[in-house]
Amino acid sequence: LHGRIRIRRFLQLMKHVLIILGAIFLLITIICIQLVRASSHRIPKRTHKDLVEGGVVSMCSPAFNRILPPASGERPLIIIITPTHARPTRLADMIRFAQTLMHIHDIVWLVIEDGDALSDPVYRIIRRTQRAYCYFGVKRNRALPLRGWTARDFALKFLRKRFAEFSNRAIVYFADDDNTYDIRLFDMFIRKVKTVGVWAVGIVAQRPVEAPRVNNDSVVDGWLTDYAPKREWAIDMAGFALNLNIILQRKNANFIDCKVSSPEPCLLSRLNLTKQDLQPFGHADYPRDILVWHTKSSHLIKKGLMKRSYGYLIE
Amino acid sequence: LHGRIRIRRFLQLMKHVLIILGAIFLLITIICIQLVRASSHRIPKRTHKDLVEGGVVSMCSPAFNRILPPASGERPLIIIITPTHARPTRLADMIRFAQTLMHIHDIVWLVIEDGDALSDPVYRIIRRTQRAYCYFGVKRNRALPLRGWTARDFALKFLRKRFAEFSNRAIVYFADDDNTYDIRLFDMFIRKVKTVGVWAVGIVAQRPVEAPRVNNDSVVDGWLTDYAPKREWAIDMAGFALNLNIILQRKNANFIDCKVSSPEPCLLSRLNLTKQDLQPFGHADYPRDILVWHTKSSHLIKKGLMKRSYGYLIE
């Protein structure tokens, strides 16, 4: 009998021990999850020295470092490349663009500063989007005609290394911070690009609109513009997006080797593209809405007054 | 026995009838709900002739017509008043502003067109926000110095009729379509306004920033600006919001009776306000972020080329 009681007591004890152990295990798990979460809110400062040449600083979100190629059933990723530089209207322009991107999911935002110093107000705007991002500072290549070229050339190199495994599961769009984007542009046009997508851009080249001209077979055979419409590429950077695959396959395409022309025909001709490769969007819609506008903010500030900012942040 | 069988059969029948009736009732209920839903998507064209003087056209969302004063535990409503007029950059400006408002809840957007013809592209932009809105066309009062005055004066009259029962449960903000709004402005500043809230505005009056000057007792005692800082109201329309109560109480305040000065001091002085009534926001924050910018889009279009729009929508 004593033996049985002992066994019973032992089992009772074991039961309590197991319950306590279980509770402790649960507690540790919860604490671990909280710790992991808390640490993922910290923004790691790291330089992508392994990915790109020297002279580049970068701040990437934890979400960026976790990004993997989408499976074939999933929506492809949109990689947005934004060259930017300090100017009085920059923070306002970046706020508007960031708030536009906050409506779009499954995107990566690569912001490339003109110079190797990152701007803290810009960084905070980017971070508030809660999107996957990298903010780079890239020293300008003075041999290139305009400042945006260095940034876009850096972006092509970075894409070929960081997104090498993404094949056709991502689309690349060069998006300036002062343009106006209708949020429908991203999922109705860009997300569907299999090769090169093209569409109308409003208020560009001192004209109300420039757009691809589409023939009855839905093939682009020219450009709707009265300014040199016979040009091979009468298109603004905001008017096209590229399937990543095209950039990965044409490894030599860059913004360096054709310094004389504007950047759009430079890139598109070096990618070995013809108008027949283009996918036109929006030309058959009714009404014919423009979904991206090449807007510019006026610099309304009198010279010599830039320093009167009373501790408020302005660039 | 026969009787019992009959009763049983009758009960059986009644069971079936009840099931069928139940099913039909359920079906009708579902159809009714669907019909009500479908009808609520239709936008009723109606003129607020009962609310305002003649010569006004309006399109209001069903959500607008359902709006009631928030209970005291609920967040107050923000009423946003936007005068607008056709110009080449208008659609782009409206797209950006509409997409900003799509981040904010518990708002009503009153858009007032300069003239009695409504713009269909603008209407579609407003409708896509899925916010409660009214889009008005109000014929300009040529006696007033600038076109925005007619719209804002109309808005004051409309507020005093449609929102008469809202007491202090709404805040009124005059927001131009080309300004830049950080989404934090709405819930961190405007929503908390008990009397008159004031804050910094970026890129205004040809200066990087104008802001209220706040003394150690957190009272506004002047203005941070080097352009006539001794003015009673050195503030832009974007830099303040009013608790609805103030507009309801001061029934005579309008934009008509002081034609010479700019609209901000006109309204604020006619509302019988002093600087001591002001609630300053953002002055003690670190960093001192600007949450609203008086941006302007450049009109980059060459004269005579406005008609080259190839069927795409531009104004």
Domains plus CATH for chain A?
A: 57-293 (3.90.550.10)
Q: Two tokens at B42?
A: 């239709």
pLDDT(B45) > 50:
no
**Does A298 or B43 have the greater pLDDT score?**
A298
User: Could you tell me if B293 lies within 8 Å of chain A, comparing CB atoms?
Assistant: yes
In this prediction the pTM is 0.83
Task: Assign A47 a pLDDT band (cuts: 50, 70, 90).
Answer: very low
User: Which one of B99, B297, B310 has the shortest CB-CB distance to A297?
Assistant: B297
Own/partner pairs, B70-77, CB within 8 angstroms, 24+ separation: B70/B106, B70/B169, B70/B170, B72/B169, B74/B106, B74/B169, B75/B106, B75/B191, B76/B106, B76/B168, B76/B169, B76/B170, B76/B171, B76/B191, B77/B106, B77/B107, B77/B108, B77/B166, B77/B169, B77/B170, B77/B171
**C-beta atoms of A100 and B102 within 8 A:** no
**Does B218 or B305 have the greater pLDDT score?**
B218
- pLDDT, position A259: 61
User: pLDDT tens, A230-244?
Assistant: 888 899 999 999 999
pLDDT(B38) > 50:
no
- pLDDT, position A35: 65
- The predicted model gives B40-67 an average pLDDT of 68
The single residue of B113, B165, B232, B264 carrying the catalytic annotation is B264
B277 marked among binding-site residues: no
- pLDDT, position B46: 45
User: pLDDT tens, A92-116?
Assistant: 999 999 999 999 999 999 999 999 8
User: Which one of A100, A183, A301 has the shortest CB-CB distance to B203?
Assistant: A301
| Cα–Cα distance, B82 to A213 (Å, whole number) | 36
Task: Assign B106 a pLDDT band (cuts: 50, 70, 90).
Answer: very high
- The predicted model gives A247-276 an average pLDDT of 84
- pLDDT, position A94: 98
Closest CA to A194 of A109, A106, A270, A281: A281
Scanning A220-259 for CB atoms below 8 A from B yields 224-226
pLDDT(A33) > 60:
yes
User: Which one of B92, B288, B313 has the shortest CB-CB distance to A295?
Assistant: B92
Scanning B193-212 for CB atoms below 8 A from A yields 200, 202-204, 206-209, 211
The ipTM of this complex is 0.83
User: Could you tell me if B301 lies within 8 Å of chain A, comparing CB atoms?
Assistant: yes
DSSP state of B1: -
User: pLDDT tens, A180-199?
Assistant: 999 999 999 999 999 999 99
Question: Mutate which of A203, A285, A302 to test chain B, going by most B C-beta atoms within 10 A?
Answer: A203
| Catalytic-residue membership of B232 | no
Mean pLDDT lowest for which of A203-217, A255-269, B240-254?
Answer: A255-269
**C-beta atoms of A297 and B296 within 8 A:** yes
User: Could you tell me if B302 lies within 8 Å of chain A, comparing CB atoms?
Assistant: yes
- The predicted model gives A120-140 an average pLDDT of 96
**C-beta atoms of B91 and A293 within 8 A:** yes
